[in-house]
Amino acid sequence: MKRKEKERKKGTEQRQQKTIKNPRLEALSEIMELINSANDSYMKMDYDKAINYSEKVIRLAIKSNFEQHIEEQQQFLINIAEKVQEKYFASEIREAVKEIEKIYNILIEAKQISQAHEILETFKRHYQDKIDLDSIPLIKELEMKDRRERIKNKVE
């Protein structure tokens, strides 16, 4: 009885090893692994790797005629481009905020509260469409300081 079980088990293992290879299934499996790798890289903010994985997905999807994956990866690349652009604007804005803060402080020391406020508001209007200004702590601090100065000096 044990011998028959061993033979049956061995036969099952051999059949599993002799699975028919389907090129589309193999391509799909590889695409899914690449998509997972691309998403992992994206979450780690390693956009270069995410782009490389996505490019491989697109090439394999074109070769295997998986249109849906091509479209998904195109959208994925657009999302990466938006993140990179946002990251660039954030660093550009941080530098600009530092300069605005210097000017603002000089105007406050000179008791030019209205002009200091106007400089801050002009800055905010200029960048409001490019990035969420509330996500930058320096700007929030400067806005709070501006409110305090206007209240302290009774400026509207």
pLDDT of residue 94: 81
Give me the count of residues in the chain.
156
pLDDT (0 to 100) of residue 89 = 77
Residue 11 forms part of a structural domain: no
Does the structure show a pLDDT above 70 at 147?
Answer: yes
What whole-number distance in Å separates Cα of residue 2 and Cα of residue 117? Answer: 89
Q: Tell me which DSSP letter residue 135 carries.
A: G
Indicate the number of domains in the chain: 1
> Residue 57 domain-assigned?
yes
Q: Is residue 77 part of a domain?
A: yes
> Residue 5 domain-assigned?
no
Mean pLDDT of 65-73: 91
Q: Is residue 86 part of a domain?
A: yes
Short-list 34, 37, 80, 74, CA closest to 56? 34
Whether residue 16 lies inside any domain: the answer is: no
pLDDT value of residue 139: 84
Q: Is pTM, for the whole model, over 0.75? A: no
Which DSSP string do the residues of 24-78 spell out, in sequence order?
HHHHHHHHHHHHHHHHHHHHTT-HHHHHHHHHHHHHHHHHHT-HHHHHHHHHHHH
Domain region containing 54: 21-152
